[in-house]
Structure 1
Amino acid sequence: MTDEHTLTIVLAQYAQLQLAEASAFDRFAHTVRTICKQSSPDGKHPDLVAFPEMHLFGTGTSDEDQANQARLDAAVDFPHGVEEVTDLPSGSLLAQCAQLAKELGIWLIPGTFCERNPDGGLYNTAAVFSPLGRLCASYRKICPWRPFESYTPGNSFTVVDIPGKGRLGLTICYDAWFPEIARQLAWLGADIIVNLVRTTTPDRRQELVLARATAIMNQVFVASVNAAAPEGVGQSLIVDPEGEILDGSDNSSEQLLIDTIDLDAVNSVRRIGTAGSNRLWEQFKPGDPKIPLPLYEGHITASRWHPQTAPMNSSTL
């Protein structure tokens, strides 16, 4: 494994911080600083630190109406329509996260945020902050867990270029149950899909299967980070492009999953084939007929089947 395209990732399987705590962000910042002082098994400083869904937006034992009001009161406004944002409102939660990423020189995914909807509702929105202290990407959850979640669905996909490393795709919790979302991210060139989760229910067992299946079907890394107890059931994991579990938790306690992955493995598996056999991204060849997809009012064409690639020499963070 060379250092060129390796990525040291940390999944922080931690319990939610509560909105009612005035010092919640200070606690969060202390946690991230502590994580960055710890070494991975090979002694590398983390490149990427990711937290579970709604990590900074816990509402504890509040009833549903109180919880919704607390989330509305704490919601943030995301600047959309630009690739990178450096002039975040001073003192805002987004600005604080950006500054923390810059201080530590890491890519930071602080879980997801309640984002204000112009119609008065909320999006469930993930954000990625770069080592230069920029909000470089955001993603609105496409598949809220209906009928239990009232978030407004997003309608676009997000991938993030990590210069010199590869490309990262974002999904949030229940998105993982819809293979179309992961397939689109893989087609957009994602080498790793990071799934931010707050699963409280027994179906986490099925989600572990889905994480491995997603990796196998798309030949990508998958990192699924779930909240710890009491809000979540944990069982986070990191999966390689052939579906092998590189690191995983078997319980709901707070813990870190730390691994250094070689994103070149994605190209290698696609070239050689899963288990040396299956080259699924080479399935459709020039001259093959279009495959109608009535469900999507579209079709598969051979000329568009191959994934895009990340600009590996990009100097933009």
Structure 2
Amino acid sequence: MTARATPRALPVAAVQAPPLAPGAGVAAFAADVTALRAAFPQTRLAVYPELHLNPESGEGLQEAAEPLTGPRVRALRELAGDLGLWLVPGSVAERGPQGQLFNTALLLSPEGELTASYRKIFPWRPYEPFDPGTAFTVAELPGVGRLGFSICFDAWFPEVARHLAWMGAEVIVNVVRTTTCDRAQEVVLARATAITNQVFVLSVNAAGPLGTGQSLIVDPEGLVRASVPGAEAAVLTDVLGLDHVERVRTYGTAGLTRVWSQFRPGDPPLPLPLYGGRIDPARWNRTGADEPTT
């Protein structure tokens, strides 16, 4: 009898919460995460909304920005290590090496390391003061799978999710601080992203009174596994079976559609005049794709 492979399970907690109070700092956040860990002890990955640690706006963001070697990230590393938890504390205002202001998502490991960071590529113009990032980020969770990262308005640009999936992402973590009436459209985009890339999507928005909530977890076939219908503070818990991604890509969504097996050998490349480039069928199957950028 052939031994079965161990299922790749990722217990997650997606926290729909308002941003921390001004001046609260990492100490208050540590108390929240510690309480979350106690309430949901099986959690291996905890995710918080965009700019959860930065309630500031305008010039306040400039003043609050720190480099990733600064005291805020050092405290977050210690927190994740103490709790033995993969932690996405939302995104933070990062001071870049040439003085830039980036909106940067972080992934801290159970060993207390900054495993990955991602700078928002598409700031919400003209309202956000951030400089755009220029690189996609996918990180490896050893023995579990790969996480790709996007931030809020990035979800409106399918190029981001497509690149992350091509780089091997099986889960796309989209941290959000949507305060406007278009959250209903973003819910649709979360499901569409999951369907067209055959990945899990965690779309975690801020709670009211600032955020409009409606966080959700979507599976690789676009089915909503868990959601919050309103803006109230809430925690979504689920166990993501990452083998589902491989199964859907092998047998197809609803047993039919296999987007990563679209092209046949010898099919001509598809020009992409929008990008001055093209889709090359020889590179469409993501086997052998680039290693994650961390």
Normalized against structure 2, the TM-score is what?
0.94
Unpaired segments ≥5 residues, structure 1: 60-66, 79-87, 311-316
- Are residues 161 and 227 of structure 1, via their aligned partners in 2, closer, same or farther at CA, if it must alter by over 3 Å? same
Correspondence list, 1:281-292, <5 A: 281-292=260-271
The code of the aligned residue for 2:46 comes to: V
| Residue 178 of structure 1, aligned match among 157, 168, 174 | 157
Identity %: 49
The code of the aligned residue for 2:80 comes to: A
Taking the aligned partners of 1:30 and 1:308, their CA distance within structure 2 comes to: 42
Maintained 8 Å contact 1:5/1:166:
yes
- Which residue of structure 2 aligns with residue 82 of structure 1? none
- Which residue of structure 1 aligns with residue 275 of structure 2? 296
The code of the aligned residue for 1:288 comes to: D
Residue 138 of structure 1 deviates from its aligned partner by: 0.5
Provide the secondary structure at the position in 1 that maps to 2:75: helix
CA RMSD of aligned residues (A): 1.9
- Which residue of structure 1 aligns with residue 29 of structure 2? 28
Provide the secondary structure at the position in 1 that maps to 2:112: coil
Taking the aligned partners of 2:88 and 2:284, their CA distance within structure 1 comes to: 30
Residue 119 of structure 1 deviates from its aligned partner by: 4.8
Taking the aligned partners of 1:298 and 1:200, their CA distance within structure 2 comes to: 36
Matched, 1:138 2:120: no
- Are residues 150 and 187 of structure 1, via their aligned partners in 2, closer, same or farther at CA, if it must alter by over 3 Å? same
Correspondence list, 1:154-233, <5 A: 154-233=133-212
| Residue 59 of structure 2, aligned match among 65, 69, 82 | 69
Residue 120 of structure 1 deviates from its aligned partner by: 3.8
Taking the aligned partners of 2:212 and 2:30, their CA distance within structure 1 comes to: 23
Residue 171 of structure 1 deviates from its aligned partner by: 0.1
- Which residue of structure 2 aligns with residue 112 of structure 1? 91
Unpaired segments ≥5 residues, structure 2: none
Provide the secondary structure at the position in 2 that maps to 1:295: coil
Q: Which moved more, 1:128-137 or 1:67-76?
A: 67-76
Taking the aligned partners of 1:96 and 1:3, their CA distance within structure 2 comes to: 34
Residue 303 of structure 1 deviates from its aligned partner by: 1.6
How many residue pairs are counted as aligned between the two chains?
288
The code of the aligned residue for 2:49 comes to: P
Taking the aligned partners of 2:229 and 2:5, their CA distance within structure 1 comes to: 30
Taking the aligned partners of 2:64 and 2:175, their CA distance within structure 1 comes to: 20
Correspondence list, 1:48-59, <5 A: 48-59=45-56
